[in-house]
A and B are shown apart, each in its own frame.
Chain A
């Protein structure tokens, strides 16, 4: 199975394009004039405080909310079309799901294929192959029949990454992927991200932890109700940008702990 999206990756192809988008919830502005361009094959950190609009941006990219202004293109397509193409995968935080739900690892990864199946969601041979292949890539083939609740936090995280691989999504939205993950899993996930980048995928990682951004991301987006800055980590992480992002509560770039300026 061909897994790579490199033909598009080589040509400076834009995976995510947001132009001056505004989102408001019943008059409360959650995001204004947010613009962002992300190329194929990049790993990008999305950094901001709670309530800065990280979740809102994710929701807009997934098509859950329509911006009141501005436009979004994913792989050059409108968001609904990108949804149909199975272009965007969301990898949830562990706490966001009911992990006592009676499904196996295999079932969870198979859910990545649902969008490509007929409406009865009966898996074909190619779906099974895609699921197995995805499980191989995250090294979970020994766990296929385990209930999802019997996995450790890190293994569960990998299962959801496998679901995104099975979906063959070219844009991955990760919500706090490093929260509650041990060093070994962190390393494994970082390796996976590098492979994803090689495939030509674009990964957007929402996080509080600036240390992780420095370590794992090529690019960074700083947001606080709007996109303050984005680009190479070394250029964007200026003390001025950071203090605008964290509203004066400048976090220590290594530990991520907030300290007053």
Chain B
């Protein structure tokens, strides 16, 4: 790959990787997972759940390991531990005087450590590096199927309940007063978060999954004042980041998860600097309200 830019035309740059089955799959899965996490990231950023996203994504680790060991779908194990960690956070917070952010940090690192210990004991089929850093280029058929199913479920829930979830994030008091069950919405959002974390784990791994769950939302938030537009922009920027990240990872032989998240961060940086209204280098007339 020394003469990369001289030997291959721009079109070849895009098309050559597509001749490989594993690249077609990697691109498809990454774009899909990117879109799913991007959509969810709108709710995470608006609800102020970045830390919660970090916690749940790390806490699913022992669930994934146990599921693999027992031959169950890893999404099931992840889901149980994701929701379990949240329940535990709520319980410890209620029963002790320790502050919430401390409890969150405490619980998720505990779960994560348990996952690490389990991996080292149950060696068999589990590749620690795959869980920690993701491996969209080497995704297995079974993992692919599960990721597709999870993505479908998450998208369906987020589309069906988008108005209710938006209202829940914006004004939970009003939601309750008109008879919407906000307790159910709370746990629905947490369940979706656990599922999305498992999907994201496939492409960028546990450590970086939280980036998928907040960065696209944060980027979109800088670009618009409309919730629907924020959804589109987050999905778009997240999917594009994933596709670009996979390409870059292929051509420059770098770690895929890192490359995807780095592209996301760069897009955020561009929005941070150049967003029409909320960028720090405003080019439009700032006197308009």
Q: Are B180 and A120 in contact, CB atoms less than 8 angstroms apart?
A: no
Measured CB to CB, the nearest residue on chain A to B176 is A64
Q: Among the listed stretches A9-17, A90-98, A218-226, A230-238, which one makes contact with chain B, having 4 or more residues with CB under 8 Å of it? A: A90-98
Q: Which residues of B contact A245 (CB under 8 A)?
A: none
Whether B176 pairs with A114 at a CB distance below 8 angstroms is no
Task: Pick from B160, B166, B173, B225: contact of A90, CB below 8 A.
Answer: B173
Residues B174 and A92 in contact, CB atoms below 8 Å apart: yes
The distance in angstroms between the C-alpha atoms of A98 and B225, with both chains bound, is 13
Residues of B within 8 A of A62 (CB): 173, 176-177
Determine whether the beta carbon of B163 is less than 8 Å from that of A121: yes
Task: Tell me which residues across on chain A come within 8 A of B224, comparing CB atoms.
Answer: 102
A103 touches B164 (CB 8 A): no
Closest partner residue, chain B, to A99 (CB atom): B170
A120 touches B160 (CB 8 A): yes
User: Which residues in chain B, 37-84, are within 8 Å of chain A measured between CB atoms?
Assistant: 46
Cβ contact of A88, chosen from B160, B167, B177, B230, cutoff 8 A: B177
For residue B160, which residues in chain A have a CB less than 8 angstroms away from its CB?
119-120
Judging by beta carbons under 8 Å apart, are A86 and B226 in contact? no
Q: Quick check: which of A130-138, A142-150, A184-192, A209-217 contacts chain B, the rest being far away?
A: A142-150
Complex Cα distance A62/B163, Å? 21
Interface membership of B221, Cβ < 8 A = yes
Closest Cβ of chain B: how far from A56's Cβ, in Å?
14
Interface flags, B217-247, vs A, CB<8A=1, else 0: 0000100111101100000000000000000
Interface size class of A (residues with CB under 8 A): 20 to 34
B230 touching A102, Cβ below 8 Å: yes
**Min C-beta distance of A112 to chain B, whole Å:** 8
Contact of B226 among A84, A103, A167 (CB under 8 A): A103
Q: In the complex, A103 Cα to B226 Cα: how many Å? A: 5
**Band of interface residues on B:** 20 to 34
A97 touches B171 (CB 8 A): yes
Across the interface, do B227 and A107 meet the contact criterion of CB distance under 8 Å?
yes
In the bound complex, how far is the Cα of B227 from the Cα of A4, in angstroms?
A: 33
| B162-214 interface with A by 8 A CB criterion | 163-164, 166-167, 169-171, 173-180
Which of B170, B179, B225, B230 is A115 in contact with, Cβ under 8 Å?
Answer: B179
B163/A83 in contact, CB under 8 A: no
B179 and A102 within 8 A (CB): no
A84 to B170, CA, bound (A): 21
Asked, given contacts A86-B178, A114-B180, whether A121 binds B164 with beta carbons under 8 Å apart, the answer is yes
Q: Chain A residues with Cβ under 8 A from B10's Cβ?
A: none
Interface residue A72 (Cβ < 8 Å from any Cβ of B) = no
Closest Cβ–Cβ distance, residue B189 to chain A (whole Å): 16
B289 at the interface (CB under 8 A from A): yes
Please report the C-alpha to C-alpha distance between residue A114 and residue B173 in the assembled complex, in whole angstroms: 13
B167 touches A114 (CB 8 A): yes
- CA A111 – CA B171 in complex, angstroms? 10
Bound complex: CA A98 to CA B172 (Å): 11
B174–A102 touching, CB < 8 Å: no
* Set of chain B residues within 8 Å of A64, measured between Cβ atoms: 176-177
Interfacial chain B residues near A97, Cβ < 8 Å = 170-171
Q: Are B225 and A84 in contact (CB under 8 A)?
A: no
> Complex formed: what's the CA distance from A102 to B233 in Å?
13
Contact of A111 among B46, B174, B176, B289 (CB under 8 A): B174
How far does the alpha carbon of A97 sit from the alpha carbon of B46 in the complex, in Å? 12
Which B residues are in CB contact (< 8 Å) with A114? 163-164, 167, 175, 178, 180
- State A121–B163 Cα separation when bound (angstroms): 6
B-chain residues with CB within 8 Å of residue A80 when the two chains form the complex: 179
Are the CB atoms of A90 and B177 closer together than 8 Å?
yes
A112 to B166, CA, bound (A): 13
A102 contacts B227, CB within 8 Å?
yes
Residues of A within 8 Å of B178, CB to CB, are: 83, 86, 112, 114-115, 167
Q: How far is the CA of A102 from the CA of B46 in the complex (A)?
A: 9
Closest B residue to A64 using CB positions:
B176
A147 x B163 contact (CB < 8 A): no
Tell me which of B174, B175, B225, B226 contacts A163 (CB under 8 A): B174
**A31 at interface, CB cutoff 8 A:** no
In this complex, which of A84, A111, A147, A150 has the most chain B Cβ atoms within 10 angstroms of its Cβ? A111
Alpha-carbon distance between A73 and B173 when the two chains are bound, in angstroms: 20
State A112–B178 Cα separation when bound (angstroms): 8
User: What residue in chain B is nearest A83 (Cβ atoms)?
Assistant: B179
Set A92, A119, A167: member contacting B173, Cβ < 8 A: A92
Say whether B227 contacts A103, CB under 8 Å: yes
- On chain B, the residues within 8 Å of A92 by CB distance are 171, 173-174
Q: Shortest Cβ distance from B94 into chain A, in angstroms?
A: 10
**Which 9 A-B pairs give the minimum distances between C-beta atoms?**
A115-B178, A121-B163, A147-B225, A83-B179, A62-B177, A90-B177, A150-B289, A101-B170, A102-B225
Given contacts A88-B177, A167-B178, 6 further A-B contacts (CB under 8 A): A62-B173, A64-B177, A86-B179, A98-B46, A103-B170, A114-B178
B-binding residues in A (CB < 8 A): 62-64, 80, 83-84, 86, 88-90, 92, 96-98, 101-104, 107, 111-112, 114-115, 119-121, 146-147, 149-150, 163, 167
